[in-house]
Structure 1
């Protein structure tokens, strides 16, 4: 099948785009307003975008509290959403009134950060302290998006629970991060395999994949 997105005449029960572009990591964003209010919300339009400097981004459908607080204070935190925290993560997605802490709604603990005022999720096995470098509306074919708003931040500090380290490496299978699929679906990473990047076009130096 084929359909043009401007018409969106796919004939399916739901738009399949987000199910195709999946899995997507979840940016569980915590912020604190200038007035001191804490906010926590999950974003599936999120990713690492550069390693030097270490930049991450999240995109908000509308300028919600996470984007508002991040821009006004210049800070935010990315907390790793994991399978054991799936219900808490889901509860934090509720549209709570401004000033109501999603930490309390989700039954989570605010933990202090080292370099930013925004709190992190104490129960999460990893958190990235970030300082905002850019915020903007992305461009579409018809001009700036009327709804999407992107925030980019530089990672300035990293928290890791040593229980998710194995032989000095962050063990994704131990952390069990959640990812977002399409519709109401999620996935969890528990199985990991390794492939060595080829150095020559004939790929003769590739070692067999090591599947735990």
Structure 2
């Protein structure tokens, strides 16, 4: 038996809770920005993914007009900091609705480090930082999708092996439904089957 839910006949928050509990796990873009006045902002956004590889473009969605979005529109740049498990409490704390003009870096006590190519700082303890210049934005209802061209990536050598980030060393956090968060758990590997081999095996 299924429960049918028509978004046209469901309140916005109710369908939001259904979507965010179903589309899981979601990686977290821990976005640092700097306002035109010079205040550094840091906030987690869990509607986040890769848009393009050549050129490298990532995207996140601002649900509503948050400081991250306003700062990016004003200055044209931002940093996506990787959200690792050891920083769980600090990441959650930066989701607090601090007033505009208050820096989450300072309020939460998160160390900065300068970026190489953009104005906003990186999170010093984050193992990977993607420095981005604004590519474009798309408004969809109450949300704005932000596309950023990655102009520099800074990766902690400790999470690398053979030139590749090791997921168990990265220890990524993910958002689930309600106030739930996910950690990496079991890692499984399986290779894709080329069609030629698929045909041979089925013959």
TM-score computed with the length of structure 2 as normaliser: 0.90
Query: Contact (CA 8 Å) 1:173, 1:190: kept in 2 or not?
Result: no
Aligned to 2:37: 35
Query: Contact (CA 8 Å) 1:129, 1:157: kept in 2 or not?
Result: yes
| Alignment counterpart, residue 134 of structure 2, candidates 127, 132, 136 | 132
| Alignment counterpart, residue 166 of structure 2, candidates 161, 167, 171 | 171
Is 1:191 matched up with 2:186?
A: yes
| Alignment counterpart, residue 120 of structure 1, candidates 119, 122, 127 | 122
Output one character per residue of 1:63-117: Cα deviation in whole Å (capped at 9) or x when no partner.
1110011111110000011110000001101011111110112221111000000
Question: Shift of residue 204 of structure 1?
Answer: 6.7
Cα distance between partner residues in 2 of 1:93 and 1:71: 20
Question: Shift of residue 39 of structure 1?
Answer: 0.2
TM-score computed with the length of structure 1 as normaliser: 0.87
Aligned to 1:152: 147
Compute the RMSD of aligned alpha carbons.
2.1
Equivalenced residues, count = 197
Cα distance between partner residues in 1 of 2:117 and 2:63: 28
Looking at secondary structure, tell me which structure has more helix per residue.
Answer: 2
Task: Identify if the C-alpha distance between structure 1 residues 204 and 186 changes in structure 2 by more than 3 Å, giving closer, same or farther.
Answer: farther
Cα distance between partner residues in 2 of 1:171 and 1:88: 23
